[in-house]
Structure 1
Amino acid sequence: MMMLDRDATLADTAALVGLFEQVFDETFAHLYRPEDLQAFLEEHGAELWREQLQDPSFAIHVVEEAGLLAGYSKLGPLRLPVEPRAPAIELSQLYVAKAWHGSSVGRTLMDWTIAEARRRGARELYLSVYTDNPRARRFYGRYGFEEVGPYKFMVGEQADDDIILRLDL
């Protein structure tokens, strides 16, 4: 089966919501009270995805196989509490479904992310990663991301311990 990577469109909204919820659930659901998880997922529902897909300050790229989304990357305006030293952009999500872990999906998405950030004039790329997500931390480390500092990532009323990472482009 051949994988295809492409820019997301409005037609991908439902698939992106589904993949976002699936990956977040697979990776993090055990950490939260059901009401906090539900509030977070509702906050990141179809309406937000449609807005971001239509907003030129965001760029969303997908990898699919046989019409199924395997993963996506979402770039957008910097919202993390950092003082950039140069023009900056934020990688708000790079999600890969568990079935595609260990494949080239993550690498394909990160290569696109870095190229797109540069194309948009960014000289720094920021993201936050959950402290206890060693797989993601190793992945970003391979690309040269460096730790900037701690960050509280809110899921409902629960504050998670995240780490802000930066890559000089």
Structure 2
Amino acid sequence: MRNPTVADAEAIAALMADCFTATFGSLYDPADLASFLDALTVERWRAELADPAFAFLLAEDDGAAVGFAKLGPHALPVTPAGAMIELRQLYLRGSQQGSGLAARMMDWVIATARARGAGELFLSVYVDNHRARRFYERYGFEEIGIYTFMVGNHADEDHLMRLAL
């Protein structure tokens, strides 16, 4: 695992598209899925990788990108009690699930959030992604509300979750 650079934008973009499609692609009309993924441009990834408001972790296996995590500033419809940060994405290829890599990534997420002075860590997770929700609950995240997550023109219901740091 390492902190990626702007040069890793293409690998992260491809990993995001692959993981999102593998996990959720069957839920959407192809046009909605394409619209969502097309908005995640390599240029956008480069800008976020260069922006100190974001923190990234890239997980690799034999030099190939297999997962990533991204922390970012307040964007979800939550009212923090103080300093906060959001887990914007945590994706891992299916071949790596159950390997312990997700736990090591989450340890980095929490440590990085604390190191940046956050007292709260927020995320959203698709209501029917029970595996991810159980994973976050093991770390002490609690549901605090519902959030509408748009994929193209399709509205999904996500659980908003919070972890007090």
TM range (shorter): over 0.9
Q: Is the 1:70–1:105 Cα contact (8 Å) retained in structure 2?
A: no
Aligned length: 165
| Aligned counterparts of 2:41 and 2:26: Cα–Cα separation in 1 | 20
Structure 1 counterpart of 2:40: 44
The residue aligned with 2:15 is 19
Deviation of residue 17 (structure 1)? 0.7
Q: Does 1:135 align with 2:128?
A: no
Match of 1:31 among 27, 30, 51: 27
In structure 2, distance between residues paired with 1:160 and 1:32: 10
Residue 124 of structure 2 aligns with an amino acid whose one-letter code is S
Q: TM-score, normalised by structure 2?
A: 0.98
Report the alpha carbon displacement of residue 27 of structure 1 after superposing the two structures with TM: 0.4
The one-letter amino acid paired with 1:160 is D
The correspondence for 1:120, drawn from 116, 128, 136, is: 116
CA distance in 1, matches of 2:152, 2:47: 21
Counterpart position of 2:82? 86
Aligned partner letter, 2:100: S
Deviations 1:54-104 (A, max 9, x none): 000001101111111121100000100010012100000000000000012
Deviation at 1:142, TM superposition (A): 0.4
- TM-score normalised to the size of structure 1? 0.96
Structure 2 unaligned blocks of 5 or more: none
Q: Which amino acid counterpart does residue 16 of structure 1 have in structure 2?
A: I
- Structure 1 segments, 4+ long, off by >2 Å, are none
Tell me which amino acid in the other structure corresponds to 1:89: I
Secondary structure in 1 aligned to 2:47?
Answer: helix
**How far apart, CA to CA, are the structure 1 residues paired with 2:41 and 2:160?**
24
Whole-Å separation in 1 of the counterparts to 2:27 and 2:19: 14
Q: 1:129, 1:164 within 8 Å by CA — same for their partners in 2?
A: yes
CA distance in 2, matches of 1:11, 1:108: 23
